[in-house]
Structure formats: C-alpha cells, structure tokens
C-alpha cells in the first residue's frame, strides 16, 4: 500500500509579464531557490542547484543545443532551451531537467537530472507548485 502524497503548495513567484519569452527569473519559493524560465511561451521551473557539485545552475548561460552530423560540421538547434552550469559547463535541458550528454562519450550510464517543478499561469501570475 502506498502512502498518499502530500498536497503541493502554490507559490506565486512573478507576474507573467516579468518573465517574457527567452528570459528567466530566479526566485525563492518554499525555502528553495528556483529558476523560472519562459521558453517559447512555456514556463519551466528548475531547482537552482546543479546535481554535479551544487553550483547555482540557473545563473548559467542559456544556450542552444549544438548538434553535429559529422566531423567539421555543427549547427545550433533548440535555441534558448539549454542551461549551462557556470562552474563546469554541464548542460541541462530546461524542459526536462535532464543532462545533455553525447551518448558516445559516456563510459557509464546513469541519470542526472535537476529537480523540476510544475508551473501554471493564474490571472497573469506565474505559479510554481512544489
């Protein structure tokens, strides 16, 4: 038998107009630092802690994904959907919280994710549920 989950609390963290497409705001909610991003009109909330060594991940650059079809060739994709940790440059998908890695470069498979929270819009305000 599973235990019932605790109800999530609503945290009004910003006016919708404060976080326009392509921008973010770092807020305090529930005793945690959270980065709230607007990626192409969709809001995402990531815990502002890098799972590597604890840097403030959401202070990192927001970048596109660099993709390559072969040696000497690369292009940018998914503009504004990746955050790069300011300490050691690990990159995370803002939409999923998952680390971006080249699978061919991995010697061990394990999942690295950033804690992610649900976000809603209510009467022009951005609300994080956690």
The bridge status of strand 91-93 relative to strand 125-129 is: unpaired
- Residues 53-72 interacting with ligand FES (rule: CB under 6 A): 53, 55
What tokens does 33 get?
């630092």
Minimum CB separation of residue 124 from ligand FES in Å reads 34
Strands ordered across the beta sheet of 10-15: 10-15, 125-129, 116-122, 42-47, 32-39, 24-29
26 interacts with ligand FES by CB under 6 A: no
50 interacts with ligand FES by CB under 6 A: yes
Nearest to 126, CA basis, from 8, 39, 21, 10: 10
78 interacts with ligand FES by CB under 6 A: no
Residue 58: phi, psi to the nearest 5?
Answer: -75, -5
Minimum CB separation of residue 69 from ligand FES in Å reads 27
Size of the site for ligand FES (CB under 6 A): 8
x/- map, 84-113, ligand FES, by CB under 6 A: -x-xx-x-----------------------
Minimum CB separation of residue 63 from ligand FES in Å reads 14
| Helix, strand or coil, per DSSP, at residue 81 | strand
The Cα–Cα gap between 54 and 70 comes to 34
The contact set with ligand FES (CB under 6 A) reads 50, 52-53, 55, 85, 87-88, 90
């Amino acid at each position: 038998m599973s235990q019932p989950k605790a109800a999530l609390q609503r945290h009004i963290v910003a006016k919708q107009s404060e976080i326009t497409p392509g921008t973010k705001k770092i807020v305090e909610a529930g005793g945690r630092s959270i980065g709230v991003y607007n990626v192409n009109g969709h809001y995402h909330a990531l815990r502002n802690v890098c799972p590597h060594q604890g840097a403030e991940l959401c202070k990192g650059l927001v970048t596109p994904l660099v993709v390559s079809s072969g040696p000497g060739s690369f292009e940018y994709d998914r503009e504004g959907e990746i955050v790069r940790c300011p300490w050691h440059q690990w990159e995370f998908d803002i939409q999923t919280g998952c680390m971006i890695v080249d699978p061919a470069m991995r010697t061990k498979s394990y999942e690295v994710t950033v804690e992610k929270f649900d976000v809603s819009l209510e009467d022009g305000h951005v609300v994080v549920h956690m």
